[in-house]
A = this chain, B = another copy of it.
Amino acid sequence: MTDQKRYAPIIGKLRDAGLRPTRQRIALAELMFRGEDRHISAEMLHNEATAARVSVSLATVYNTLHQFTQAGLLREIAVEAGRSYFDTNTSDHHHFYFENDGHLEDVASNDVVVSSLPTPPGGAKISRVDVVIRVRED
């Protein structure tokens, strides 16, 4: 199988988003989207790339995470000030946040039900509803 074909799905998504399928973006996409859904920080991804002998600068990791987020391939999650996480699962779902070690886990999508949402003030439009269940393990 050629690389052309092997990476065809992600290359298509990049093109759709107006992003050139560069060596770095393809490698980072491979690392993030293979296997199951993940919650990853810039530093974590950069370390993984290094471990996989993919040479990418930290600046490019940041650029790529933001571009993928804008393209709808990732979703940014804010649970603690000072560090951003990116979720490879962009479908509508919520999170457990483990206060002890700061890691995130998905909540099975039907296990949280938000009934009755308020109307935003001043004619604002809801763009997303985030539910974070903060938990502690003792």
Interface size class of A (residues with CB under 8 A): 35 or more
**When the two chains form the complex, which single residue of B83, B98, B117, B125 contacts A112, counting CB atoms closer than 8 Å?**
B117
B-contacting residues, A105-129, CB 8 Å: 105, 107-108, 111-118, 120-129
Q: Describe A's contact surface by its main secondary structure.
A: strand
Whether, in the assembled complex, A81 has its beta carbon less than 8 Å from a beta carbon of chain B, the answer is: yes
For A83-114 the 0/1 string (1 means CB < 8 A from B) is: 11000000000001011000001011001111
A20 to chain B, nearest CB (A): 27
Give the contacting residue for A120; candidates B80, B96, B122; CB below 8 A: B96
**How distant is A103 from chain B, measured CB to nearest CB, in Å?**
11
- A99 CB → nearest B CB, Å: 6
A-B contact pairs, 17 of them (CB 8 A): A80-B81, A96-B120, A96-B124, A107-B118, A108-B118, A111-B117, A112-B114, A112-B118, A117-B133, A118-B133, A124-B135, A124-B136, A124-B137, A127-B135, A130-B130, A130-B132, A130-B134
